[in-house]
Amino acid sequence: SQQGEEDPQALSIQEGENATMNCSYKTSINNLQWYRQNSGRGLVHLILIRSNEREKHSGRLRVTLDTSKKSSSLLITASRAADTASYFCATGLSYNTDKLIFGTGTRLQVFP
Amino acid sequence: EAQVTQNPRYLITVTGKKLTVTCSQNMNHEYMSWYRQDPGLGLRQIYYSMNVEVTDKGDVPEGYKVSRKEKRNFPLILESPSPNQTSLYFCATREARNTGELFFGEGSRLTVL
């Protein structure tokens, strides 16, 4: 099964609400990254958090990492219709620093 | 402008007809990789390359070949495509060795009939 699995698989909210997506993984990592994908387009990097970090912010994005629970969350605050996309977590493995494994994604729909 | 360019963006072909999907980057990145994306399976790595003339298998390399003769180009070759290779393919590059940010192309949607 996948190293990274996102939860929920799909999320629908109204503009202005916050959106929270979770990622769980199985093995030891040296970093975890979040990517965004608009329908059928290439993925775009959002944020990277290293294994020795617990929280990171970038604009309206907040990422947390709990290595003891092997989980991460991505919070998008004050969401906008333009945030509608799929969001993927990707884990950089500590035992193979060349490898980045992607989860199956959370599909976010933000209604105006 | 930093770019990862894939061609073709869309292709419909028939079983057994060899095809090549090209990938070119202008960022002087050493690392390049190919992924395929299928519903419910996320992105799976096909092959990657750490530098010119260095390529390695990813998680799903069967039925694919790659080459890295120049730093900027990393073509994906399907010698004898089959319907189970119908997918959305992405080329991605990065700068540093230690799994930093990946830069993705816009994708190539391949249908094999």
Mean pLDDT of A44-54: 95
Q: What is the pLDDT of residue B98?
A: 63
Residues in CB range of B9: below 8 A, 6 or more apart: B106, B107, B108, B109
Q: Confidence band (pLDDT; 50, 70, 90) for A25?
A: very high
Q: Is the pLDDT of residue A21 over 50?
A: yes
B94 and B65 Cβ atoms separated by less than 8 Å: no
Higher pLDDT, residue A5 or B70: B70
| Residue ranges in A26-100 assigned as alpha helix (H) | none
Q: Which residues pair with B19 in a beta bridge?
A: B78
In Å, the largest CA–CA distance within chain B is: 39
Q: Which residue has the tokens 């996320």?
A: B42
Mean pLDDT of B61-65: 97
Kindly list the residues from chain B whose CB atom is less than 8 angstroms away from the CB atom of residue A100.
45, 99, 102
Cβ distance of B99 and A44 shorter than 8 Å = no
Identify from A2, A25, A36, A45 which residue to disrupt to test chain B contact, counting B C-beta atoms within 10 A and taking the largest count.
A45
CA distance A95 to B99: 12
Q: What is the pLDDT of residue A5?
A: 81
CA distance B74 to B46: 12
Kindly list the residues from chain A whose CB atom is less than 8 angstroms away from the CB atom of residue B102.
33, 35, 43, 45, 90, 100
Kindly tell me the sign of the dihedral angle through the C-alpha atoms of B80, B58, A40, A6. Answer: positive
**Range among A6-10, B39-43, B80-84 with highest mean pLDDT value:** B80-84
Mean pLDDT of B77-91: 97
**Range among A7-21, A84-98, B94-108 with highest mean pLDDT value:** A7-21
CB-neighbour burial class of residue B7 (10 A; exposed 0-12, middle 13-18, buried 19+) = middle
CA distance B35 to B29: 17
